[in-house]
Amino acid sequence: MGQFIDVQTFYPEPKIKSQWLLIGKESVGKTALTENLMGKKSGSSNLQGSSLFCQEYTWNGQVITDTPGIQTRMDSVVTSQVLRRLKTSEHVILTLKSTELPSDLSDLWDMVQGRSGIVIITYWDKVKHREDVRQELDRLRAETDLAWITIDNRHVTTEQLEHIEQALTQPARFPVAAPKLEANWSVKPKLLLFEYAWFGPIMSLCLLVLPAWFAVTNANAFADLLYPYVESPVNTLKGNLGALPAPLNHMLVGDYGLISMLPFLILYALPTVIVFSAIISIYKTTGLIDRLSYRLDPFMHKIGLSGRDLVRVIMGFGCNVPAIIQTRNCSCCTRGSCISAISFGSACSYQLPATVAVFSAAGKPYLTLPYLAILAVTTCIYLLLTTTKQQRNAAASYNLLSRGFLQPPNWRFALSEMAGVMKSFFNTAFPLFVGICLLVGFFEWLGVIESLTHLVSPLMTLVNLPEGAAIAVILGAIRKDGLAIGLIDSTSHGLKLGEITDIQLLCAVYFAGVILPCVVSLLTIVREMSLGYASRLAMRQIFWATCFTVVLSWGVPFIAAVLA
C-alpha cells in the first residue's frame, strides 16, 4: 500500500482557523474527550473529511479541532487529510492510549516533533494502579518539560479540565527524539466468548447482523400499527391535489409521486434508520464494534475486505449513503471493494421493508430468510469474482492493534453518534428521495416508465421471470422501495403474486433489489469516487446480478425436477 496518498484533488483543504489540532489514533477517545471539555457542542462546525468529519470547538478562548483517528498503517482518505492539516498546524494536542503507549509514541512522535503542544493519556484507569507506570510518567514529565495529563476520558474531573486549560496556555516543544519507555505499559483485554475458535466468529457475525434484523422487524411492526392512521389523511390530500394540472398531479399524487411515497418513507424507512443507528451507536461507544471487527478480520480478507470494512457494509442496512461516506476511513486498497459490497449486498431501510412487504402481500413471509441468505452468499461470491488476489492480500487490517476493551455505554456520545447518522440521512438521502419522486412522476407523465417496461419485459424470459416483473426491476433500479410498488401493484402489468412460484417471487425480488444501486446511492458514489468509477460499478453489478438470477431461476427448478 506504500505511502499515504494525496487527496487534494478530490477534497480541497479548507482554510485552517484552529489554534490547536487534536490528533491520535483511532479509538483513543478524542471525540469523547472533546465532549467532556465542551459539555455540549457549543461553537462547533463541520469541516472537511470524521469519524469522518473534523469538528471545530471553541473552549475557554482556545479553538480546538478534533480530527479523525490516524491510521498509521493504512492509506485512507481521512488519514491523508489529517496529515496535510498537521503540516500547517503549530500547536498540537497529542492523545495517546495508556494501554498502547509504546506503539503510539513510536508511530506518532515523528509527526509532532518540533511543534509545541501537550500530551493527554487516555484510559488511565486501566494502568493507574501500576507503581512502575506512575514513576515512569513522572520521569517523562521531567525529561521533556511537556504536560503529560492522564484522564479516564469517559469521566473527566474538574481538576483535570483545569490542568488541561492551564497546559494549553503554557505549551512546550516536542523533543526531536521520542522518549524511551522502560515500564511495561501494555494491558490486554480479558478473553471472552469472542475468542473461542468456532463459536466466536459465528457469535460476532450474528451480533453484527442483529441490529439490521432488529431494526427492520420492530420498525415494520411500528409502521404497520400506525399506517391506518396515516393512510386516510394521505388519501384525502391526494384527492385534493388530484385536480392539479399535469404533470404536477403525476409528480405529487401519481403512483410514484411524492405524496404517494411519503407514508413509506416516514413510517417504514425513517424508523428503520433511527433504530439501526441507535444500536450501532451503542456498539461503538461500548467498544463492541472494535471487538467484532477484530474477530472477523481474518475471514474478511478472503473476499477482499477487512473487519473494519464489514462494519460499513452492515451500516448500509440502515442507509447506504452514510455507509458509503464512511468508507473514507477504509484503506484505499479496500475502499472500492467495500463500496461494491454496500452497493450490491446492503439491503437498506428502503429495500428491506419493501422486500418484507412483497413477501407478506404474497402470503409467503417465510421467503424472507432464504432471501437474506441468498443475498449474503451471492455478495461474497461477487466480491471473490470482482477483486484481485493483490486486493485480497492488501485487505489485511494492520491498524487493528488489539481486541479493544469493552465498557459501559456512554449515552451522550451514543446520542451524538446517532445524530450524525441522522444528519447525513436528512441532508443527503432525504432531499434526493424527494427529487427522485418528483422526477419519476414526471417520467410517468411523459410515458418513459411505460416505454421502459415494454422494452425490458421481453428480457424477463432470459431470467425465467414473468414479463410483468419488468416494472419492479425498473423501479427498483431507481428507488429500492420501487420493487414493492412494481410487484404488489403489478396486476395492470399481467403479474399476480399468488400465481407465481416461490422461486420466481424470490428471484424477482432479488433481481429488482440488486441489479443496480438506487439513484441516491449511485449519486453518492459519483460524489465520493468519480463518474467513471460509478459507471463501471453499475455495469459490473448489472452483469453479475443477471448471472446470479439466471443460476437461481433456472437452476433451482432444474435441480428440483431432477430430484423429483
Q: Return the C-alpha cell found at 265.
A: 418513507
Examine residue 4 and state whether it is found in any structural domain, yes or no: no
Distant-in-sequence, close-in-space partners of 513: CB < 8 Å, separation ≥ 6: 347, 351, 355, 375, 476, 480, 483
pLDDT per residue as tens digits for the range 159-202: 888 899 899 988 999 999 888 888 888 887 887 888 787 888 88
Give kind and range of the element (H or E) at residue 212.
Answer: helix 199-241
Examine residue 342 and state whether it is found in any structural domain, yes or no: yes
What's the CA gap between 220 and 276, in Å, rounded? 12
Q: Which of 8-17, 378-387, 503-512 is predicted with the least confidence, judged by mean pLDDT?
A: 8-17
Can you tell me whether residue 89 is helix, strand or coil? coil
More confident residue, 31 or 326: 326
DSSP 10-62: TSPPPPP--SEEEEEBTTSSHHHHHHHHHSS-TT-EE-----SS-EEEEETTE
Closest to 263 (Cα-Cα) out of 221, 234, 222, 225: 234
pLDDT band at 510 (very low <50, low <70, confident <90, very high): very high
Give kind and range of the element (H or E) at residue 407.
Answer: none
What's the CA gap between 496 and 494, in Å, rounded? 7
Q: 465 and 418 share a domain?
A: yes
Examine residue 302 and state whether it is found in any structural domain, yes or no: yes
Examine residue 465 and state whether it is found in any structural domain, yes or no: yes
Q: 422 and 540 share a domain?
A: yes
Mean pLDDT of the chain: 82
* pLDDT above 80: residue 137: yes
Q: What is the pLDDT of residue 39?
A: 66
Q: Return the C-alpha cell found at 239.
A: 384527492
pLDDT per residue as tens digits for the range 338-361: 999 999 999 887 788 788 888 888
What's the CA gap between 332 and 551, in Å, rounded? 33
* pLDDT above 60: residue 1: no
Q: 133 and 282 share a domain?
A: no
Query: Looking at 110-162, which runs of residues are DSSP E strands?
Result: 116-122, 148-150
Q: What is the pLDDT of residue 59?
A: 83
Q: 96 and 58 share a domain?
A: yes
Examine residue 216 and state whether it is found in any structural domain, yes or no: yes
* pLDDT above 50: residue 44: no
Examine residue 506 and state whether it is found in any structural domain, yes or no: yes
What average pLDDT does the segment 86-95 reach?
88
pLDDT band at 2 (very low <50, low <70, confident <90, very high): very low
Q: Return the C-alpha cell found at 73.
A: 498503517
Q: 164 and 268 share a domain?
A: no
Q: 89 and 203 share a domain?
A: no
Q: What is the pLDDT of residue 493?
A: 55
Three-state secondary structure string covering 25-36? ECCCCHHHHHHH
Q: 10 Å Cβ neighbour count for 107?
A: 19
Distant-in-sequence, close-in-space partners of 401: CB < 8 Å, separation ≥ 6: 100, 103
Domain encompassing residue 131: 20-173
What average pLDDT does the segment 527-546 reach?
95
Examine residue 317 and state whether it is found in any structural domain, yes or no: yes
Amino acid (one-letter) located at 406: L
Q: What are the φ/ψ torsions at residue 18 (nearest 5 degrees)? A: -75, 150
Q: 373 and 495 share a domain?
A: yes
pTM of the model: 0.77
More confident residue, 14 or 346: 346
Among 173, 191, 214, where does a domain finish? 173
Q: How many domains does the chain have?
A: 2
Can you tell me whether residue 96 is helix, strand or coil? strand
Q: 205 and 325 share a domain?
A: yes
Write the CATH number for 92. 3.40.50.300
Q: What is the pLDDT of residue 224?
A: 75
pLDDT per residue as tens digits for the range 254-263: 877 888 877 7
Distant-in-sequence, close-in-space partners of 492: CB < 8 Å, separation ≥ 6: none
Amino acid (one-letter) located at 115: R
SS3 content of the chain, % helix, strand, coil (to 5): 65, 5, 30
Q: 146 and 245 share a domain?
A: no
pLDDT per residue as tens digits for the range 53-84: 677 788 888 888 888 888 766 667 777 778 88
**Range 545-551 contact pairs with CB under 8 angstroms and sequence separation of 24 or more:** 545/344, 545/511, 545/514, 545/515, 545/516, 546/462, 546/463, 546/511, 546/515, 548/378, 548/381, 548/382, 548/510, 548/514, 549/463, 549/465, 549/507, 549/510, 549/511, 550/462, 550/463, 550/464
pLDDT band at 494 (very low <50, low <70, confident <90, very high): low
Q: 220 and 156 share a domain?
A: no
Examine residue 191 and state whether it is found in any structural domain, yes or no: no
Q: 129 and 206 share a domain?
A: no
Closest to 486 (Cα-Cα) out of 497, 500, 501, 499: 497
Q: 354 and 303 share a domain?
A: yes
What average pLDDT does the segment 442-467 reach?
87
Q: Which of 70-79, 95-104, 196-205, 548-557 is predicted with the least confidence, judged by mean pLDDT?
A: 70-79
244-261 burial code (b ≥16 CB/10 A, e <16): eeebbbbbbbbbbbbbbb
Q: Return the C-alpha cell found at 22.
A: 487534536
